[in-house]
Homo-oligomer: A and B are copies of this chain.
Amino acid sequence: MDSRTGLPVVGMVGGGQLARMTHQAAIALGQSLRVLALDPSDGAALVASDVRYGQHTDLAALREFSAGCDVVTFDHEHVPTEHIRALAADGVAVYPPAEALLFAQDKRAMRERLTELGAPVPRWRPVTEPDELLEFGTELGWPVILKATRGGYDGRGVWVVSGPTEAAELVGTLRAAGTELIAEERVALRRELAVQVARSPFGQVAAYPVVETVQRDGICVEVLAPAPRLPEEVALRAQQLAIDLATSLGVVGLLAVELFEVIGADGEPALVVNELAMRPHNSGHWTIEGARTSQFEQHLRAVLDYPMGDTALTAPVVVMANVLGGPDGGMSIDERLHHLFAEDPGVKVHLYGKQIRPGRKVGHVTVLGDDLEKVRARAVRAAWWLREGQA
């Protein structure tokens, strides 16, 4: 507890935009997020009062950081599980626990566990040598997907393998570099969906509406909430799946389940689990204005074992668009903001305090309304204004 306020201290390992936005939510709850950052220029370090510095791979730094925190949680999934176990053994409340976080860190462990649980997953197999991928591709037909089991994000660590020659070369190169791999069926997807739930230590789980995530070059560019034209029955199935997974895996905090919507053998929509994330997630940024409780507040409520907040939409349609750094067009981000605000007084902007580099997520925009096409066009246009200016 913070003796000045009588309210808890949550420590978040990692100082990126997720910690930055979690700090905003913490302020409303009377708290101030304690952040373990790498650098004073990290997005959260720029705005939070209680910032410590250290590597998330350094157990001594994690121990020092945790002292005086009521709960420790994460802005990313890169803290080694052995360090999380060591903190827990010290008596620190660390959420999500190592046993759960493993399934967001290691795609092979995730696929194995989900297969055991009977959750819908693509056909897959571990790959330790080229022949295993050749066999898999021959059996399923090319192309197939090859994934590094750890460390990938925004399309990195994922390869579409077109045939035997590429398979042999790629597996050889990656295995020589020590990369652990799995192969997956290339799913004939209609679109990508995501569903977020938050679970508390007590076991309460709250599910957000299912959203559609629009990807370009492996990067999420838009999120449409709720997912348009999704049959109620499928939406309920997706929420139930996420609730079941959060419970089975022992998640505490947020769980984002990224899903493929496919056409099943019966011609009806079916769902396949793509990835899991156990933290606030890009697919939930729309909740800041678009849900009664933002994912950032919900994550804090979950890890603190507060009762969960209302996840209802605040408008019929909500669209989030990521702002990616564009080429240097001679117009500053501040000028772009002026023009955008003149263009559309209703768009909500979130900038992360990052140096702008081409393709880097430097912020997001959210638009709310009644008509999907209009709302989406406004969000896309706003993201474009911030990226390109008038170029």
Contacts and interface: CB of A to CB of B under 8 A. Distances in A.
A27 interface: yes
Given A27-B24, A47-B23, A49-B45, A6 B334 contact: yes
A350 B307 contact: no
Interface in A360-381: 363, 368
Contacts of A314: 314-315, 368
A338 interface: yes
A334 B49 contact: no
Most buried by B among A293, A312, A349, A351: A351
Interface string A40-59: 01000111110100000000
Interface in A42-79: 45-49, 51
Interface in A318-337: 332-334, 337
A1 B335 CA distance: 12
Contacts of A292: 345-346, 348, 368
Interface of A is mostly: loop
Q: How many copies, total?
A: 2
A47 B20 contact: no
Interface string A1-31: 1001111100000000000110110111110
Nearest to A342: B307
Contacts of A356: 6
A293 B349 CA distance: 11
A370 B61 CA distance: 50
A312 to B, nearest CB: 7
A6 B332 contact: yes
Contacts of A154: none
A346 B309 contact: yes
A208 interface: no
A80 interface: no
B306 A351 contact: no
A338 B28 contact: no
A111 interface: no
A349 B24 contact: no
Interface of A: 1, 4-8, 20-21, 23-24, 26-30, 32, 41, 45-49, 51, 206, 292-293, 301, 306-310, 312, 314-315, 332-334, 337-338, 341-342, 345-346, 348-356, 363, 368
> Lowest 8 CB-CB distances: which A-B pairs, in order?
A30-B351, A310-B346, A307-B341, A307-B342, A310-B345, A32-B47, A5-B353, A28-B350
